[in-house]
Amino acid sequence: MTMITLQAIHLGPFMLPWTLTILMVAILVSVIIGKLTYRYFELETSQWPTFKDSIWTGIWLGVLCARIGFVLLNLEVYLDHPIEIIKIQDKGFNLYLGVITAFLWIIWKNRLLKKSFILLLLTIFSLLSVSAHYTYRQIQLQYQQFPDVQLLNLQQQPIKLTKYLGKPTVINLWASWCPPCRREMPVLSAAQKKYPNVKLIFINQNEDAVTVQNYLQRHSLQLDEVLLDTNGSTAQKMGMFGLPSTLFFDAQGKLIDTHMGEITHAALHQKIQNLVSD
């Protein structure tokens, strides 16, 4: 089933984040324009395949360097959990390093081609990427405020979520039947002690108190703040329609970042560092 949300395009079990989709579309459009115009710039027919191959090689090099850069920036955390280095589903990539690496590779591999041709395609890619990301960011603005919803705690008492305003807050949307939610729960549980100046709130989606309590007891999870969202109102307010989803708010209730899917120690560390230093 295909579903489009604020965070991604969902194709059955697969998810394409909008940031990745924008980059892919910008690259595709640039390649198509290059294909249509390379004769105008008097490139030889044999040069076009070489140029095209350099783009795809540049993409892979960019992805690799972006991952390596992220790992190095968070090396201390990864050394404590080395298996997470290969968990690229945590979306731990340094975008700037990846783009710069890809650009430099493409320019170097095609240094003998006309500079105007290379400049045209890199300009088109940059304009498409920047304008699309700006538009996406403007759409996100309507979801940036702290969700004003009333939920229940495990004792069935009503709790206004806005009571947590005043300090950096991480909200995790989860369910006990969700495998990636279960895998990341120890990561988030440990973060409660590691980041005492950040409030972590675990909002269960559409399950009853007994189910949630039994799950927490069975897995020996000590979570400070567990709330029940029986109608999925938080997800609707924030435009998050996949589990698990984690949202990062500053002390004033502004949405700083989001993460859809299982989160690792390093990815969580980086996002919390960005949150408290914002």
- In this prediction, residue 183 carries a pLDDT of 93
Domain segments of the chain as ranges: 1-141, 148-275
Residue 182 predicted with pLDDT over 80 = yes
Rounded distance between C-alpha atoms, residue 192 and residue 27, angstroms: 41
Phi, psi of 226 (to 5 degrees): -120, 125
Confidence of residue 185 (pLDDT cuts 50, 70, 90): very high
Rounded distance between C-alpha atoms, residue 107 and residue 124, angstroms: 15
Residue 167 predicted with pLDDT over 80 = yes
Query: 174 - beta bridge partners?
Result: 204
Percent of the chain residues past pLDDT 90, beyond the cut:
52
Confidence of residue 2 (pLDDT cuts 50, 70, 90): low
Cβ atoms of 205 and 151 closer than 8 Å:
no
Mean pLDDT, range 14-31, rounded to an integer: 86
Confidence of residue 277 (pLDDT cuts 50, 70, 90): confident
- In this prediction, residue 60 carries a pLDDT of 93
Three-state helix/strand/coil letters over the chain: CEEECCCEEEECCEEEEHHHHHHHHHHHHHHHHHHHHCCCCCCCCCHHHHHHHHHHHHHHHHHHHHHHHHHHHCHHHHHHCHHHHHCHHHCCCCHHHHHHHHHHHHHHHCCCCCHHHHHHHHHHHHHHHHHHHHHHHHHHHHHCECCCCEEEECCCCEEEHHHHCCCCEEEEEECCCCHHHHHHHHHHHHHHHHCCCCEEEEEEECCCHHHHHHHHHHCCCCCCCEEEECCCHHHHHHCCCCCCEEEEECCCCEEEEEEECCCCHHHHHHHHHHHHHC
Residue of 168, 228, 152, 216 whose CA lies nearest to 189: 216
Mean pLDDT, range 182-201, rounded to an integer: 93
Mean pLDDT, range 53-71, rounded to an integer: 93
Cβ atoms of 77 and 87 closer than 8 Å:
no
Three-state helix/strand/coil letters over 89-102: HHCCCCHHHHHHHH
Residue of 37, 183, 15, 234 whose CA lies nearest to 118: 37
Percent of the chain residues past pLDDT 70, beyond the cut:
96
- In this prediction, residue 42 carries a pLDDT of 84
For residue range 213-269, list pLDDT tens digits in order.
Answer: 999 999 999 898 999 998 888 988 887 877 899 999 999 888 888 888 899 999 999
Give 10: exposed, middle or buried? Use CB within 10 Å, 0-12, 13-18, 19+.
Answer: middle
More confident residue, 119 or 8: 119
Q: Write down the CATH number for the domain with range 148-275.
A: 3.40.30.10
- Write the single-letter amino acid at 29: V
For residue range 96-138, list pLDDT tens digits in order.
Answer: 899 899 999 999 998 888 889 989 998 999 999 999 988 988 8
Residue of 252, 253, 249 whose CA lies nearest to 275: 249
Phi, psi of 253 (to 5 degrees): 90, 15
- In this prediction, residue 278 carries a pLDDT of 62
